[in-house]
Chain A
């Protein structure tokens, strides 16, 4: 008897399982949208749901995206925003690659917040929609002649991705713990400070998913070698000349670090946690507005404030890209265009909105007075936690060519991580 019951039960449950599976089946693959006729793109987008895959590790960014772009999309274009948070952008890249491997003509991803290595991977795999980024109506606000915009970690952007925002490497200190006059303003000064205060400084271990750590090390490479110029294109000989000096600097720094350099924080949030809990005296941020969003989220003390070294502060742009097998390409383009709208740009840099990254557009290219005022007012309203904009502009340099990313990460793991 029981032998008859088991399969019956199993069949019933399978049917039950199938009931809950109606989501995500409505994908309609369409041909490439006609960008010469923007009205036809918005018309095609109407009624679509755009699946935007982006790093989901920050609640303030998540709610900013949902609450800012969601209503703008639905009210202005009849498009529904479906934000898919991933622990690391490479998850979204792997999703697209796995779809390619499985031969899926229609994938799950419409838009990805993408950068550097991940962009290079999908570009190499031929999985990105081409010929759209510079044809968006709002692309006219972007300074495409700027090398920091038209190359992404040294990889030519072409017409494959569109900028969303910008970021710049800065340090954060606690005004309740030290005076601004005590702050180190160069890598040489930092080394001296760290060894005078043993255990009170550390940096993020360079590696995949921890580009901020890699960026800290690249900054040291810039200072040691006299500036960023030679690193903008890949040069193996230069690397072989300067990398031993870089490792020597970091090895000499290691015994002065938190836990004597036997281990390093794995990401930005771990560094924030150590800083907030008084284990170390500095954390870092990429936000144009400094630690404002971190203060609001309760991740760092209210007395935290950003600063930069006098030089070699690496900045870059964030982009969005559309996979070539995206199910809702028209809606993805509408969203990418919306991100560059001066009104949305003005919202994104204000820390209390939850995002707080810099402009993707060049303010000088926005000529319409009311739009220009939006941008200028937002920039003027950045809180006291932000680095003075003159300091930022003075120290700003571009990132190194993409080839160095891997060299820095592997070399660091070999020469620095194991040296303590």
Chain B
């Protein structure tokens, strides 16, 4: 009873911050969608829903949104599994460059990345200019439409390039050396690579991958920046339409925006719930299977010890693993090099494009290299009081949010990692509420609360608002990390005479450090790249650098946009640089549990 109460006590702060605020926002969105706005005081009605559903193009937009989100998430998840699997099969392989490709990509705020992709892949972008320079095309319209296309390829490309690295980074801490050694053990027992992937690797990473993919899907469905920058007028995603309706000065249209938000939220919640049920069913199947394979393993291991046991099934499986044919090895190496080079190009070319635009002016098609270089953008931005103030404000907000999120997420994640905890599913559902709510509805709801309490326009209100979307990320990463942390190690340390403080510091913190670093990084990034929440809750008094990028993106001065975008990508990249060696060491070294063995 006390233990149960303690468990809930550990979860309460996080649930209050995340669940309380987002539940309020959701309730307010629903109320507004039913016509209950303070400004008009109209009676409850379902008119907004009727209008929305009967509206021309609603179902087309809904299908388009689902297609973009599903394709983006599926490709990201499959790619993440492939990358993580390849790395764990070759321990010690995650080299600095490859980790950097993934991580640097994650650190780039969404609006910056979307702007960079557009500058690179548009019909007069940097790739088209290369095509012109080598004589492949004469005019921009001969270059294929790969962004702002009608099939959502540009948006999907954005989602994949952002979400794939995110999922790999989520999976890597749990797919560490211990999983690799388990895989090797399975190989030793005769498991084929496919069996190793299916029976050892996938089950090990699912606790991190499943919630990660759910969050990625919800993000994709409710995301605004990539669809706004890389999409077309028609078809559009529901999130873009909802925001446009909300920005319509007509109050009746605003109610329709709220109705769309509610429908969007219902969809993401339904899909997440379905995914949850599927994951649970898979977990149950896995449990049965692992009992069976454990039995098989015991039988196999008993073999050499027992006198008459057959050794034949083990031996043939070993030889291909230990000595793959030369050609196959060469192929594998070539494939790895190609993937690394592609990853590098996908990352470097867009960043190089916006960096060059930051120091040039009148850089128009078909110029591959600018003819007019300038430092006015850099001088204006670094010398501008408002840009420096925005940089400072952003840092104060995001660093505070990160520390607060770690403090709140730690106890919550520990409880949630314990599969025996009865309130696990319910708590997860509440904590992940903001991740499955469309960003617009969430922002409006929180803003109204902030205005009512008189906190709007103040830094603490913005910080609390940022916690709502970022805390679930922190909890997801930490819970995944804790799920492979053996609590008994803590107890052992205590038995051996350590105080609880010593046990916590020397055993727990060290064991979960990689996850903690990743969680802190993600929290910082989610907060750093927030636009809507800062704008609304900040009442225009709180300006961050990411907000300036948005303003510049609609402003059209490529020099200034490039400069501010590069500056906006810097702090997170620098934090990452500080964290990388540590991360890499953790990924390459055996976990404390393995060292203890």
Contact = CB atoms under 8 A, between A and B. Distances in A.
A381 B233 CA distance: 40
Which of A9, A53, A277 has the most chain B CB atoms inside 10 A of its CB? A277
B123 interface: yes
7 contacts: A14-B404, A21-B459, A86-B540, A208-B248, A263-B233, A272-B556, A301-B362
Contacts of B500: 1-2
Interface string A386-420: 00000000000000000000100000001001100
Contacts of A104: 451, 454
B541 A278 contact: no
Interface string A212-246: 00000000000000000000000000000000000
A188 interface: no
Contact of B460 (A14, A99, A103, A266): A14
A417 B234 contact: yes
Interface of A: 1-3, 6, 9-10, 13-14, 16-18, 20-21, 23-25, 51, 53, 56-59, 84-88, 90-95, 97-104, 108-109, 117-118, 120-121, 125, 199, 205, 207-209, 258-259, 262-264, 266-270, 272-274, 276-279, 297-299, 301-302, 406, 414, 417-418
Given A2-B504, A91-B535, 12 more contacts: A1-B504, A10-B408, A16-B400, A24-B539, A91-B540, A95-B539, A97-B39, A101-B451, A109-B540, A205-B233, A269-B555, A270-B556
A301 B364 contact: yes
Contacts of A270: 556
A409 to B, nearest CB: 9
Interface stretch (B74-82, B140-148, B174-182, B288-296): B140-148
A417 B540 contact: no
A266 B233 CA distance: 8
Contact of A59 (B246, B366, B539, B560): B560
Nearest to A417: B234
Contacts of B463: 17
Contacts of B38: 100-103
B557 A298 contact: yes
Contacts of B141: 199, 258-259, 279
Contacts of A1: 499-501, 504
A51 B541 CA distance: 9
Nearest to A295: B362
Nearest to A16: B400
B411 A264 contact: no
Nearest to B139: A278
Contact of B364 (A91, A267, A276, A406): A276
Contact of A87 (B249, B447, B554): B554
Contacts of A273: 556, 558
Q: Nearest 6 CB-CB pairs, A to B?
A: A269-B556, A102-B451, A277-B124, A121-B249, A101-B38, A298-B361
Contact of B148 (A103, A117, A121, A263): A263
Nearest to B37: A101
Nearest to A275: B364
A24 to B, nearest CB: 4
Interface string B343-376: 0000000000000000001101110000010000
Contacts of B247: 88, 90-91, 94, 208-209
A95 B247 CA distance: 11
B250 interface: yes
Nearest to B560: A59
B458 A58 contact: no
Interface in B542-591: 550-552, 554-560
A279 B458 contact: no
Contacts of B123: 279
B457 A87 contact: no
Contacts of A99: 451
A56 B150 CA distance: 30
Interface in B391-424: 396, 400, 403-404, 407-408, 410-411
A277 B448 CA distance: 43
A23 B364 CA distance: 42
B285 interface: no
Contacts of B552: 59
A263 B231 CA distance: 10
Contact of B244 (A85, A208, A267): A208
Nearest to A297: B557
**By CB atoms of chain B within 10 A, which of A25, A208, A267, A406 has the most?**
A208
A90 B454 CA distance: 22
Candidate in A53, A279, A406 with the most chain B CB atoms within 10 angstroms: A279
B452 interface: yes
A17 B362 contact: no
B216 to A, nearest CB: 26
B250 A406 contact: yes
Interface string B124-164: 10000000000000011100010010100000000000000
Contacts of B447: 98
Given A20-B396, A259-B145, A301-B362, A90 B249 contact: yes
